[in-house]
C-alpha cells in the first residue's frame, strides 16, 4: 500500500488517478468485478475513501475508465495482429483469420472480457450523466476505430456490416465470458457430474464458432 500526500497540482492529481486505475486493474487480476469494493480499493491505493471519491465519483466510474483504456489497447493489439492481408488472400481465408485473431486477442485480455461482461448490468449504473456522457463519447470513437480495423481485413463487410458484427460480438463476448467463468459452486457441479458437461462453455472455442457463423451470415446478406 502506498500513502500519498495531498495532491497540489494537476500533475500530482493525474498521478493519483493513474495509481487508482492501476490498483483497480491489479485487483481484477485477483477477483471478479463484483468483488472489487471501493473500500478495498482505497485501502490498497493508500487513500481515504473520501479522497478516492475526489478523483472518481464511484467504483463504477473507475471501472468504466479501465474499460475504455482496455478497449483502445485491444483495438491496437488487434490491428497489429491482423497486419496487412496477403495479396490474393481469399474472403474465406480472411474471415477465418479475422475471427481467429479477434478471439485470440480477446482471450489474452481476461480483464477486458470481464469488464465487457459487466458493462450494461453493473458498470453503467451508479454513475452521473457527465460520466456516462464521457464514456459513451469515448466508446463511439473506439467503435469507429474498430470499424476501420475490421474493414482493413474484410472490406466486403461494409461499414454497416462491420457495425452489426461489433454489436453482436459485444453481446457474445459478455455472455460467453460469464458462462465460461461461472461461480465456484457451478464449477464444482460440472466436475462432480460429467453428464452436465454439455452445459459448460469454453470461451475461445464457443466464441470463435459463434462469431464465424455470424460473420459469414453478414457477408451472405439477406436470405
| 105 and 33 co-located in one domain | no
135, three cell numbers: 464514456
Q: Rounded mean pLDDT of the chain?
A: 93
CATH number of the domain where residue 122 is located: 1.10.357.10
Amino acid 209: pLDDT: 97
Dump pLDDT digits (tens) for 50-104: 999 999 999 999 999 999 999 999 999 999 999 988 888 999 999 999 999 999 9
In this structure, the answer to whether residues 72 and 160 fall within a common structural domain is yes
Residues 205 and 102 in one domain: yes
- CB-CB contact of 97 with 171 (8 Å): no
- Are 39 and 142 members of one domain? no
76 and 47 inside one domain: no
Residue 200 is classified by DSSP as -
| pLDDT value at residue 197 | 81
Share of the chain above pLDDT 90, in %: 87
Q: Which domain holds residue 24?
A: 1-56
Could you tell me if 128 and 179 lie in one domain? Answer: yes
At 5, the pLDDT band (50, 70, 90 cuts) reads low
What are the tens digits of pLDDT across the range 28-57? Answer: 999 999 999 999 999 999 999 999 999 999
Hey, what long-range contacts does 54-62 have (CB within 8 A, 24 or more apart)? 55/13, 55/16, 55/17, 55/20, 56/17, 56/20, 57/127, 57/128, 57/131, 58/126, 58/127, 58/131, 59/126, 60/122, 60/123, 60/124, 60/125, 60/126, 60/127, 61/127, 61/131, 62/20, 62/21, 62/24
Rg of the chain over all Cα atoms, to the nearest angstrom:
20
Amino acid at each position: 500500500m502506498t500513502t500519498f500526500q495531498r495532491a497540489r497540482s494537476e500533475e500530482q492529481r493525474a498521478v493519483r488517478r493513474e495509481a487508482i486505475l492501476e490498483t483497480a486493474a491489479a485487483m481484477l487480476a485477483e477477483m471478479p468485478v463484483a468483488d472489487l469494493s471501493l473500500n478495498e480499493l482505497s485501502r490498497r491505493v493508500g487513500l481515504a475513501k473520501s479522497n478516492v471519491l475526489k478523483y472518481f465519483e464511484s467504483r463504477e466510474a473507475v471501472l468504466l475508465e479501465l474499460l475504455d483504456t482496455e478497449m483502445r489497447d485491444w483495438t491496437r493489439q488487434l490491428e497489429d495482429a491482423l497486419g496487412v492481408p496477403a495479396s490474393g488472400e481469399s474472403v474465406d481465408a480472411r474471415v477465418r483469420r479475422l475471427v481467429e485473431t479477434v478471439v485470440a486477442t480477446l482471450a489474452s485480455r481476461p480483464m477486458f472480457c470481464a469488464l465487457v461482461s459487466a458493462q450494461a448490468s453493473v458498470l453503467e449504473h451508479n454513475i452521473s450523466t457527465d460520466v456516462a456522457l464521457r464514456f459513451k463519447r469515448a466508446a463511439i470513437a473506439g467503435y469507429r476505430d474498430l470499424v476501420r480495423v475490421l474493414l482493413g481485413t474484410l472490406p466486403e463487410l461494409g461499414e454497416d456490416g462491420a457495425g452489426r458484427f461489433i454489436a453482436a460480438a459485444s453481446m457474445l463476448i459478455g455472455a460467453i465470458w460469464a458462462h465460461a467463468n461461472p461461480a465456484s459452486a457451478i464449477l464444482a457441479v460440472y466436475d462432480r457430474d460429467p453428464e452436465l458437461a454439455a452445459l459448460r462453455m469454453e470461451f475461445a472455442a464457443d466464441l470463435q464458432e459463434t462469431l464465424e457463423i455470424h460473420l459469414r451470415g453478414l457477408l451472405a446478406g439477406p436470405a
